[in-house]
Amino acid sequence: MEKAFKNLIKSEFPDLGNARLLLAVSGGVDSVVLAHLCKKAKLDFSIAHCNFNLREDESEADEEFVMELGDALEVEVFSESFDTVKYAEEAGISIQMAARDLRYDWFEELRSTLKYDIILTAHHANDDLETFVINLVRGSGLEGFTGIKAQKNKIIRPFLKFSRREIESYARENHISWREDSSNASSKYMRNRIRHQVIPVLEELNPQLLQSFTLTQEHLQESFDLLEDYVGLLYSEIVSKTEYGYSLDIGILKKVPNTKAVLYHLLKTFGFSEWNDVHDLLIAQPGKMVFSPTHRLIRDREYLLLTEKPSETDDRIYEISEGEEIIMLPPGTFSIEEVKEIGETGPNLLYVEKQKLEYPLVLRKWQEGDHFYPFGMKGKKKISDFFKDKKLSLPEKENTWLLCSADRIVWVVNHRADGRFAVDDPSKEILKITYSL
Amino acid sequence: MEKAFKNLIKSEFPDLGNARLLLAVSGGVDSVVLAHLCKKAKLDFSIAHCNFNLREDESEADEEFVMELGDALEVEVFSESFDTVKYAEEAGISIQMAARDLRYDWFEELRSTLKYDIILTAHHANDDLETFVINLVRGSGLEGFTGIKAQKNKIIRPFLKFSRREIESYARENHISWREDSSNASSKYMRNRIRHQVIPVLEELNPQLLQSFTLTQEHLQESFDLLEDYVGLLYSEIVSKTEYGYSLDIGILKKVPNTKAVLYHLLKTFGFSEWNDVHDLLIAQPGKMVFSPTHRLIRDREYLLLTEKPSETDDRIYEISEGEEIIMLPPGTFSIEEVKEIGETGPNLLYVEKQKLEYPLVLRKWQEGDHFYPFGMKGKKKISDFFKDKKLSLPEKENTWLLCSADRIVWVVNHRADGRFAVDDPSKEILKITYSL
């Protein structure tokens, strides 16, 4: 195995020879053998050990063992103690997940602080095979069957093509001692039952199981990569960034094959679960919505609009007092200035006769029943009809502010002025109001 | 289960109610229960039973049992006997594969001959799960993990969401008898060992295993469908049909991500196995080739050219005697006619002075050292240089015929005439020769 390891380093990870490496060492046979082999390959490395405090005295003894290993190999050892149980409880995750998060976060912190180039872990082919079967038991999509990557970000896993058996044989032949994790021996955990009761049967059925499994993983990884490429291509054709989130082109969605699966892959990170309802939006009336815990998908005319879930109805109200010139509010910034005459015009600025206003001005969102007297039009108009005529989408309506004088609307901000406050007499005080996000 | 089955038919396979069905019934619990449930659901069906003659007396007893089942349910039974062992030996395939081929071929023959609409089989969720694990053991790509389809061509598998346990419970509760396959009880076959030694452990780890597995299969099937869509899209952009096979656009291949995986998916049906070599063709010199047992991939200038593997060197020779007017040969058809004068011209026709020819004319392929005197040019030219100047691809060179008079080339067919045979004296006998595929 020593020769195979050295060849592997040479052929697949040639950069390791000139890098400063940080080795994740638990004290188990895999990581201890990795440390020995890195020493034999004359790599430049230090050891990082996590004490998760999950097995009391044993955890202490593991730490002690790794310290001694560092002495024997003449390399530096970093060790950190974690209150894994507390972290898991606070984050609401499993102990295993907590340990994983803590471990990788700390490794990366060490690496970047102390200028190591690469983190090495001792994951091997059996780990991958066990994970495959665990994901089969729990249910999974393709990603769960593609296995851990040999190289990702700053982490390299050089043992991924070696089996547990090879690693243990090497340790025995070279009289290398290691710490046996007492939880390994029991069938308490799913991984252990699969390791001891399932994999041995599969290996009897195919003595070359691990080799063929390595190829299987490569195939599935390739398929997954291609799938990601395709989704990326579809994303660029279908999805656009909008002011309030994202829009998905309904016309293209209807044309691509397997639309429901495409929707799943485009939207899977947003927490939706009712994929039939999501799919049905394509043939629903405009205005129809589907919610995830965090997001909302709205059927608009030609697009599905994805926004964050709004926090109930928006009843925020802001007041603007007389004399204020720059008003910075969460939605945007108003500037109000006195001007001598009316200059440039446009929907995003407003001229009013100051005397017609009642202070404080009020800035609020649209409510059912609101109406105004659009400048240049005779009579009044419901805000809802005005929105409809302008073909505003729901997020656009929700994000439109109304500038009011008492209960009268002065300006549908950035859309239309109200005629009642218009400048009739140029000799009166004129205010120019602009709004920008 | 009766209710669940009827609901499933109503919601997922509504057409079955008005169809003539052919039920594949082995005599095992799955297919016997399917027959009973189809009867309860008042479907219009007949039974088809295969006797594979693999278990002597037992096979006979199975057949007898299915006949009696037909009587009891008052439906017609078709039964056919196969020499499965002989078929497998002759086809060089396993007994299991032989049985599967024989079964589906015969079902389809029965169906189309006797005007049945649909074939029903009793595959259930456990079959799928076992197949998944078998493919894990043997090694597989994504397709091997997507499971059997509930509906494909004229076959429907309405039990695919039911478990073996549900089916057996229904049989027991309803006092339905069935034939136990004696090979099922032993752990002789891989499927049986997985059924009896692996799946039970997985079910202990997740009592909802089959439900989550059904979802897993749907996810993987969706991923596979999307992958096929993507490969179809890439195919239409990269692959073109040519006269001698297919061409793949190297420029686009170099631009798409994961080129090696793309090449695999575009070419996997042609038997290649050295995918690194295939990939390396993209950066190889023109002329470099990779072979599969049946095909050949050639690096040309801007394309990879896929052709069938040529049968050694092509040393076919055809002779054309004096006076023959229409000569139909495997490569194409020559027509030779006497004309009064030279008319239209072009590379695909030739005028020669008949007297200059020595009969029989000979039609053969290019050989190293061949040369000719191109019409309109001074001096002689090697055929290999002529091909190079015309930028012919290897398949084009291989498929170019030379029309010869004794050892002199008269015509590089459909490319260029030799000046030595040109019509110098219009009063002499003129032959017009054309060639078409």
Question: Tens of pLDDT along A335-360?
Answer: 898 888 888 877 788 999 988 989 89
Residue A182 has pLDDT above 70, yes or no: no
Q: Which residues of B touch A261 (CB under 8 A)?
A: 222-223, 225-226
Q: Which of B132, B140, B226 sits opposite A227 (nearest CB)?
A: B226
Yes or no, beta carbons of A212 and B138 under 8 Å apart: yes
Yes or no, beta carbons of A198 and B202 under 8 Å apart: yes
- What is the C-alpha separation between A399 and A390, in angstroms, rounded? 14
Confidence of residue A328 (pLDDT cuts 50, 70, 90): confident
Contact A154, A117 (CB under 8 A): yes
Beta-bridged to residue B334, according to DSSP, are: B327, B435
Yes or no, beta carbons of A139 and B227 under 8 Å apart: no
Q: Which of A193, A197, A215 sits opposite B139 (nearest CB)?
A: A215
What is the nearest CA distance from B281 to chain A, expressed in angstroms? 20
Contact B227, B212 (CB under 8 A): no
What is the nearest CA distance from A291 to chain B, expressed in angstroms? 22
Q: Where in the sequence of chain B do the CATH 3.50.40.10 domains occur?
A: 317-436
Contact B296, B307 (CB under 8 A): yes
Tell me: is residue B26 an annotated ligand-binding position: yes
Instruction: Quote the pLDDT of residue A97.
Output: 83
Tell me: is residue A29 an annotated ligand-binding position: yes
Tell me: is residue A231 an annotated ligand-binding position: no
What is the rounded end-to-end Cα distance, in angstroms, of chain B? Answer: 64
Neighbours of A312 (CB within 10 A): 6
Tell me: is residue A147 an annotated ligand-binding position: no
Topology of the domain comprising B2-206: Rossmann fold (3.40.50)
Q: Where in the sequence of chain A do the CATH 3.30.465.60 domains occur?
A: 246-308
Q: Where in the sequence of chain B do the CATH 3.40.50.620 domains occur?
A: 2-206
What does chain A come to in residues? 437
Confidence of residue A273 (pLDDT cuts 50, 70, 90): confident
- What is the C-alpha separation between B36 and B41, in angstroms, rounded? 9
User: Within A239-358, where are the H helices?
Assistant: 250-255, 259-267, 275-280
Within chain A, how many helices (H) and strands (E) appear? 16, 22
HSE-CB of B253 using CA atoms within 13 angstroms: 26
Closest residue, chain B, to A144 (C-alpha): B216
DSSP H or E segment with residue A81: strand A77-81
Residue A376 has pLDDT above 90, yes or no: no
Percent of chain A scoring above 70 in pLDDT: 97
Q: Where in the sequence of chain B do the CATH 3.30.465.60 domains occur?
A: 243-308
Mean pLDDT of A249-263: 95
Closest residue, chain A, to B211 (C-alpha): A139
Instruction: Quote the pLDDT of residue A331.
Output: 67
Q: Where in the sequence of chain A do the CATH 3.40.50.620 domains occur?
A: 2-222
- What is the C-alpha separation between A258 and B174, in angstroms, rounded? 41
What does chain B come to in residues? 437
Instruction: Quote the pLDDT of residue B186.
Output: 47
Interface test with B, best of A126, A205, A256, A258 (most B CBs within 10 A): A205
* CATH architecture for residues A2-222: 3-Layer(aba) Sandwich (3.40)
In this predicted model, which residue has the larger pLDDT, A396 or A33?
A33
Closest residue, chain A, to B213 (C-alpha): A139
Closest residue, chain A, to B191 (C-alpha): A205
Backbone angles phi, psi at A224, to 5 degrees: -65, -40
- What is the C-alpha separation between A282 and B306, in angstroms, rounded? 42
Instruction: Quote the pLDDT of residue B184.
Output: 56
Mean pLDDT of A66-71: 95
Residue A172 has pLDDT above 90, yes or no: yes
- What is the C-alpha separation between B322 and B320, in angstroms, rounded? 7
Interface test with B, best of A187, A192, A201 (most B CBs within 10 A): A201
Yes or no, beta carbons of A257 and B225 under 8 Å apart: yes
User: What average pLDDT is seen over chain A?
Assistant: 90
Query: Residues of A at the B interface (Cβ-Cβ below 8 Å)?
Result: 132-133, 136-142, 145, 190, 193-194, 197-198, 201-202, 204-206, 209, 212-213, 215-216, 219-220, 222-227, 229-231, 233, 256-258, 260-262, 264-265
Yes or no, beta carbons of A226 and B132 under 8 Å apart: no
Q: Which of B220, B230, B260 sits opposite A142 (nearest CB)?
A: B220
Contact B160, B124 (CB under 8 A): yes
Topology of the domain comprising B243-308: 3.30.465
Q: Kindly provide the b/e burial profile for residues B312-350, where b requires at least 16 CB atoms within 10 angstroms of the residue's own CB.
A: eeeeeebebeeeeeebeeebeebebeeeeeeeeeeeebb
Pick the CATH number of B317-436 from 3.50.40.10, 2.40.110.10, 3.30.565.10, 3.20.20.70: 3.50.40.10
Tell me: is residue A28 an annotated ligand-binding position: yes
DSSP strand pairing (A333-339 vs A326-328): antiparallel
- B81 token code pair: 């006997």
Mean pLDDT of A4-33: 92
Instruction: Quote the pLDDT of residue A368.
Output: 86
| Tens-level pLDDT at each residue, chain B (437 residues) | 889 999 998 998 988 989 999 999 999 999 999 999 999 999 999 999 999 888 778 888 999 999 999 999 999 999 999 998 899 899 888 887 888 899 999 999 999 999 999 999 999 999 999 999 999 999 999 999 998 888 888 999 999 989 999 999 999 999 999 998 766 554 457 888 999 999 999 999 999 999 999 999 999 999 999 999 999 999 999 999 988 889 999 999 999 999 999 999 999 889 898 889 999 999 999 889 999 988 999 999 999 999 988 776 677 888 888 888 888 877 678 889 888 888 887 778 899 998 898 989 998 888 888 999 998 888 899 999 999 998 888 888 888 889 999 889 999 998 999 989 988 888 888 999 998 87
Of A273, A125, A340, A297, nearest in space to A211 by CA: A125
Query: Residues of B at the A interface (Cβ-Cβ below 8 Å)?
Result: 132-133, 136-142, 145, 190, 193-194, 197-198, 201-202, 204-206, 209, 212-213, 215-216, 219-220, 222-227, 229-231, 233, 256-258, 260-262, 264-265
Yes or no, beta carbons of B194 and A205 under 8 Å apart: yes
Interface test with A, best of B133, B198, B226, B262 (most A CBs within 10 A): B226
Q: Kindly provide the b/e burial profile for residues A178-214, where b requires at least 16 CB atoms within 10 angstroms of the residue's own CB.
A: bbebeeeeeeeebbbbbbebbbebbbebbeebbebbb
Instruction: Quote the pLDDT of residue B424.
Output: 86
What is the rounded end-to-end Cα distance, in angstroms, of chain A? Answer: 63
Topology of the domain comprising A246-308: 3.30.465
A284-301: pLDDT as tens digits: 998 899 999 889 999 999
Instruction: Quote the pLDDT of residue A183.
Output: 64
Which residues, 6+ apart, have CB-to-CB distance to B53 below 8 Å?
A: B59, B81, B82, B83, B84, B85
Q: Which residues of B touch A230 (CB under 8 A)?
A: 226-227, 229-230, 233
Contact A229, B258 (CB under 8 A): yes
DSSP strand pairing (A303-308 vs A295-299): antiparallel
What is the nearest CA distance from A277 to chain B, expressed in angstroms? 17
Burial class for A351, CB neighbours closer than 10 Å (0-12, 13-18, 19+): middle
